[in-house]
């Protein structure tokens, strides 16, 4: 059915559908999608009505399949799609997106914005599709309040994509800015290591008489932490408590532990944890353990890891961090012990995965991956690039290859990390000087961070890497994080 639909042969698709002895929701959705994708919108909606008559419950796939059919449709069809929506679990983002798009595309701007407002009230975070759907409706109405909400979401969306220039453009062009607008922009700078820009914004916000709330302080404290601005962060923490009379929450304590820990003040960070008026959660202990890993503080690291194993016994990352602390110290027996504890508890290490998008298709790479169709070409290019990097002064940071093996073998482990493979794939398949964007599900290791700086300089490419902690903007051999992450 899906094949016939994609080939435009809807007669055969419908014949297969009609002759099926049993149909599940996927069958119905495939038929809806076939009609909708081929511009036969009325028939797509008729299939939905058949579903309704037969008591077949729609799901998010139904709404997604139906989405091309909601442009310039009749009032009756709009109402019908709205029954479907009301019967579905409204927490599904795709359902909200289809409904908002339907209203916006049928000149029902008030309804589109009203639904967007409802969505926010339900605590559902919009994505790029939501924003693209609701923006035209805001333009139609010139409604300042909904516009403000959408513009704030747009800043956040651009920030999460690492597009700081676009985020700032939206921010600068806003007619009205509330504390959320300023907070979103500060957070965007913070995630990319641009702490000074975040501080400048905070000062401007104060000058304009906008009172920062507790979330604004989370953003500025986090920005200071990511940029290594210890004194500034401590001053903001004091300002929050003494001038604005805001009682610190867990998020603020987490920021302060992270701020102190990243600056190498591990003992002070631990003291801060012990003085907390509430029970520290796994994020607080996790920030402390990360600092212990960076600064090789084994004593406090073991304490933090012990608490984390109680609070989050299935979170593999914490076991790996402790294992890494032991490995850096050459305590391989302790590394083996941690791994045996993980095995005994059924905890599996999350494999490092890096993604890069090309022509609307996401390509995924694992460390040492050999499954990609272009792998032979990728490894050949990687080998050539590695030679150029070494000529330029690159020295593999083998102490981050956490294996009890010879140096040469450690170097081989590092060369094939997932982000390196993803970047080389992008270099091969895109034109010179085109920026490269990679996302990784774990923290970028120290060797990859050094290597990508060399790659950005040699290839004259801007490379943006998003890991679990932040965005790294590599350009001309320099990273936006200032090697502080």
Query: What total of structural domains would you count in the chain?
Result: 1
Q: Residues 448-481: pLDDT tens digits?
A: 999 999 999 999 999 999 998 889 999 999 998 8
Confidence of residue 403 (pLDDT cuts 50, 70, 90): low
Are 233 and 195 a contacting pair, CB within 8 Å?
A: no
Q: Residues 113-147: pLDDT tens digits?
A: 888 888 888 888 888 888 888 887 776 665 556 67
pLDDT at position 399 is 63
| Percentage with pLDDT > 70 across the chain | 94
How far apart are the C-alpha atoms of 110 and 97, rounded to whole Å?
A: 15
Give the H or E element holding residue 159: helix 144-160
pLDDT at position 409 is 58
> 377 lies in a domain?
yes
> 436 lies in a domain?
yes
3-state secondary structure of 26: helix
How far apart are the C-alpha atoms of 119 and 122, rounded to whole Å?
A: 5
Q: What are phi and psi of 406, to 5 degrees?
A: -65, 160
SS3 content of the chain, % helix, strand, coil (to 5): 65, 5, 30
3-state secondary structure of 175: coil
> 435 lies in a domain?
yes
Mean pLDDT along residues 324-337? 89
pLDDT at position 158 is 85
Of residues 288 and 445, more confidence is placed in 288
pLDDT at position 99 is 87
Nearest residue to 340 (alpha-carbon basis) of 322, 358, 357, 352: 322
pLDDT at position 143 is 52
Domain that holds residue 429: 354-479
User: Given a cut of 70, is residue 329 above it in pLDDT?
Assistant: yes
What's the gap between Cα 254 and its chain centre?
Answer: 20
Q: For residue 126, what is the DSSP state?
A: P
Confidence of residue 410 (pLDDT cuts 50, 70, 90): low
> 429 lies in a domain?
yes
Confidence of residue 431 (pLDDT cuts 50, 70, 90): very high
Q: What are phi and psi of 404, to 5 degrees?
A: -85, 70
| Percentage with pLDDT > 90 across the chain | 57
> 111 lies in a domain?
no
Q: Residues 154-199: pLDDT tens digits?
A: 898 888 777 889 999 999 999 899 999 999 999 999 988 899 999 9
pLDDT at position 373 is 93
How far apart are the C-alpha atoms of 226 and 35, rounded to whole Å?
A: 50
Confidence of residue 80 (pLDDT cuts 50, 70, 90): confident
Mean pLDDT along residues 88-108? 81
> 473 lies in a domain?
yes
Of 268-282, 351-365, 407-421, minimum mean pLDDT range? 407-421
For residue 139, the tally of other CB atoms under 10 A from its CB is 12
pLDDT averaged over every residue in the chain: 89
- The token pair at 311 is 């609070």
DSSP H helices in 174-330: 179-191, 195-207, 214-227, 230-242, 250-262, 266-274, 282-294, 298-311, 316-328
Of residues 331 and 238, more confidence is placed in 238
> 369 lies in a domain?
yes
Confidence of residue 93 (pLDDT cuts 50, 70, 90): confident
pLDDT at position 94 is 84
Residue 340 sits at the vertex; the CA angle it makes with 334 and 343, to the nearest 5 degrees, is 150
Q: Residues 48-77: pLDDT tens digits?
A: 889 888 888 888 788 888 777 776 677 777
Give the H or E element holding residue 357: strand 353-358
pLDDT at position 405 is 45
pLDDT at position 111 is 86
Beginning with the edge strand found earlier in the chain, give each strand of the sheet holding 353-358 in spatial order.
Answer: 361-366, 353-358, 436-440, 463-466, 471-475, 478-479
Long-range contacts of 196-200 (CB under 8 A, 24+ apart): 196/227, 196/229, 198/223, 198/224, 198/227, 199/223, 199/224, 199/229, 199/232
3-state secondary structure of 485: coil
Highest mean pLDDT among 321-335, 355-369, 416-430: 416-430
How far apart are the C-alpha atoms of 190 and 168, rounded to whole Å?
A: 13
pLDDT at position 259 is 96
User: Given a cut of 80, is residue 357 above it in pLDDT?
Assistant: yes
pLDDT at position 220 is 97
Q: Residues 203-253: pLDDT tens digits?
A: 999 999 999 999 999 999 999 999 999 999 999 999 999 999 999 999 999
Beta bridge partners of 438: 356, 465
> 375 lies in a domain?
yes
Q: For residue 67, what is the DSSP state?
A: G
Supply the pTM of this predicted model. 0.73
Q: Residues 283-311: pLDDT tens digits?
A: 999 999 999 998 999 999 999 999 999 99
């Amino acid at each position: 059915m899906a094949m016939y639909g994609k080939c435009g042969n809807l007669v055969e698709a419908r014949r297969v559908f009609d002759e099926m002895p049993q149909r599940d929701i996927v069958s119905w959705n495939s038929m809806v999608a076939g009609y909708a994708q081929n511009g036969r919108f009325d028939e797509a909606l008729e299939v939905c009505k058949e579903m309704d008559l037969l008591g077949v419950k729609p799901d998010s796939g139904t709404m997604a399949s139906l989405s091309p059919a909601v442009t310039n449709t009749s009032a009756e069809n709009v109402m019908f799609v709205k029954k479907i929506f009301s019967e579905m679990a409204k927490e599904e983002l795709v359902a909200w997106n289809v409904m908002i798009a339907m209203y916006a595309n049928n000149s029902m701007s008030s309804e589109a914005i009203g639904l967007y407002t409802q969505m926010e009230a339900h605590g559902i975070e919009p994505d790029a599709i939501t924003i693209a759907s609701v923006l035209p409706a805001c333009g139609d109405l010139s409604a300042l309040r909904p516009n403000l909400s959408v513009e704030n979401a747009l800043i956040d969306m651009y920030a999460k994509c690492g597009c700081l220039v676009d985020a700032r453009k939206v921010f600068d062009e806003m007619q009205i800015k509330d504390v959320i607008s300023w907070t979103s922009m500060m957070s965007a700078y913070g995630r990319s290591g641009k702490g000074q820009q975040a501080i400048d914004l905070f000062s401007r916000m104060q000058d304009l008489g906008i009172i920062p709330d507790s979330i604004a302080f989370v953003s500025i404290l986090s920005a200071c932490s990511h940029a290594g601005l210890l004194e500034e962060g401590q001053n903001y923490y004091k300002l929050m408590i003494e001038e604005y009379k805001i009682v610190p929450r867990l998020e603020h304590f987490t920021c302060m532990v992270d701020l102190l820990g990243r600056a190498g003040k591990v003992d002070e960070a631990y003291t801060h944890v012990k003085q907390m008026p509430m029970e520290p959660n796994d994020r607080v202990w996790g920030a402390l353990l990360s600092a212990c890993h960076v600064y090789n503080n084994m004593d406090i690291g073991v304490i933090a890891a012990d608490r984390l194993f109680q609070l989050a016994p299935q979170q593999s990352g914490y076991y790996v961090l402790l294992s890494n602390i032991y490995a850096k110290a050459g305590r391989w027996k302790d590394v083996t012990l941690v791994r045996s504890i993980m095995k005994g508890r059924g905890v599996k290490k999350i494999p490092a995965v890096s993604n890069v998008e090309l022509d609307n298709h996401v390509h995924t790479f694992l460390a040492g991956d050999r499954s990609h169709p272009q792998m032979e070409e990728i490894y050949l290019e990687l080998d050539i690039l590695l030679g150029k990097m070494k000529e330029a002064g690159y020295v593999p940071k083998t102490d981050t290859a956490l294996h009890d093996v010879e140096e040469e073998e450690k170097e081989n482990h590092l060369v094939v990390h997932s982000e390196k493979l993803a970047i080389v794939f992008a270099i091969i398949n895109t034109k010179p000087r085109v920026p490269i964007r990679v996302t990784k599900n774990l923290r970028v290791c120290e060797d990859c961070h050094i290597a990508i700086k060399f790659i950005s300089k040699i290839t004259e490419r801007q490379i943006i890497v998003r890991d679990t902690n932040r965005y790294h903007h590599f350009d001309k051999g320099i990273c936006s994080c200032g090697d502080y992450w």
